[in-house]
Every structure is written in structure tokens, then in C-alpha cells.
């Protein structure tokens, strides 16, 4: 039995070692799988980090472009507002000048009418005086009859030279 015992012991020891070896193999397989999983995770993290960096750079580039575009639009808007303000100011000034010119035209028109009326009155008076002078000169002499007769006070403008005629403006 001693021989059986040793072979049983050897097979018991061999089974224990075999079991340990199997456990160690399983542990190695688990660790290898875990290591491979971690490698894949790190690769994935590296890829995600690279894509994130690219996306960040793209967003930064687009933000810079949008900022520049915003500046340009702000300048255009400011220019348009300034231009509009200048045009409104010019329009106000033009309307003021038109009002001023209309008032001046009204004053000058009234003055011209007054002077025209005065000139008409003076022309009529001058015609009456001329007729009166001609009558006085003609009293001692005989009155001529015919086409060269002296004009009456109602006709002084009809036979006066063009320089003496009142003009209406």
C-alpha cells in the first residue's frame, strides 16, 4: 500500500499543481483580457482626445471667423448709422434753407409788387403832368387837330416812348 500511497500522493500533488496551474492560466487569461481591454480603452481615449482637439481647433477657428465677421458687420452698421445721421442732418439743413428762401421770395415779391404799384402810380402822375404841361404850352397857340394831337390824361402810356412805359414783372 505504500506504493499506492505515494502514487496517490503524487497524483494528489499533481492534481493540486494542475489546479494551481489551471488557476494561474485563468488568471493570466483574465489579466491578458483586461490588459487588452485597457489597451483598447486607451486607444479609444487617445482617438477621442485627438478628435476633441481637432473639434476644439475647428470651433476656435470658426469663433475667430465669426468674431471678425461681427467686427466687420459692426463697422458697416456704424457707418450706415453715421451716413443716415449725416443725411438726416443735410435734409434738415436743406428744409431750413428752403423755408428761409421761401420767406425771402415772399418778401421780395411783396416789395416788387409795391414798387410796381408805385411805378404805375408815378407813370400815371407823370402822364397827367405831361398832359398838363402840353395844355399850358398849347393855350396861347391854336390847338392842332389831327393825328399829332396831344394825348389826353387817359392815354399817356399809349404814346410815350418805350423807356417811359411802366413794366409789369
d(CA 139, CA 108): 46
The per-residue pLDDT for range 87-98, each reduced to its tens digit, is 999 999 999 999
Which residue from 150, 152, 153, 154 is spatially nearest to 141, judged by alpha carbons?
A: 150
28 versus 152: the higher-pLDDT residue is 28
147 pLDDT exceeds 50? no
CB environment 106-125: b (16+ within 10 A), e (fewer): eeeeeeeeeeeeeeeeebee
Q: Which triple of cell numbers denotes residue 134?
A: 402840353
Percent of the chain with pLDDT over 90: 68
The per-residue pLDDT for range 74-127, each reduced to its tens digit, is 999 999 999 999 999 999 999 999 999 999 999 999 999 999 999 999 999 999
d(CA 93, CA 102): 14
Beta strand residue intervals within 28-92, DSSP E: none
pTM of the complete model: 0.40
Amino acid at each position: 500500500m505504500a506504493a499506492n500511497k505515494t502514487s496517490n500522493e503524487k497524483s494528489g500533488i499533481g492534481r493540486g499543481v494542475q489546479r494551481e496551474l489551471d488557476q494561474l492560466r485563468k488568471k493570466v487569461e483574465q489579466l491578458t483580457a483586461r490588459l487588452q481591454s485597457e489597451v483598447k480603452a486607451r486607444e479609444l481615449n487617445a482617438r477621442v482626445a485627438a478628435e476633441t482637439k481637432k473639434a476644439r481647433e475647428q470651433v476656435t477657428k470658426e469663433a475667430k471667423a465669426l468674431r471678425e465677421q461681427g467686427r466687420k458687420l459692426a463697422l458697416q452698421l456704424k457707418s450706415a448709422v453715421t451716413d443716415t445721421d449725416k443725411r438726416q442732418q443735410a435734409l434738415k439743413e436743406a428744409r431750413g434753407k428752403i423755408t428761409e428762401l421761401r420767406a425771402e421770395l415772399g418778401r421780395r415779391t411783396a416789395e416788387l409788387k409795391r414798387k410796381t404799384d408805385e411805378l404805375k402810380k408815378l407813370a400815371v402822375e407823370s402822364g397827367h403832368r405831361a398832359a398838363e404841361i402840353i395844355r399850358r404850352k398849347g393855350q396861347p397857340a391854336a390847338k392842332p387837330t389831327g393825328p399829332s394831337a396831344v394825348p389826353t390824361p387817359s392815354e399817356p402810356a399809349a404814346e410815350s416812348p418805350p423807356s417811359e412805359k411802366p413794366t409789369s414783372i
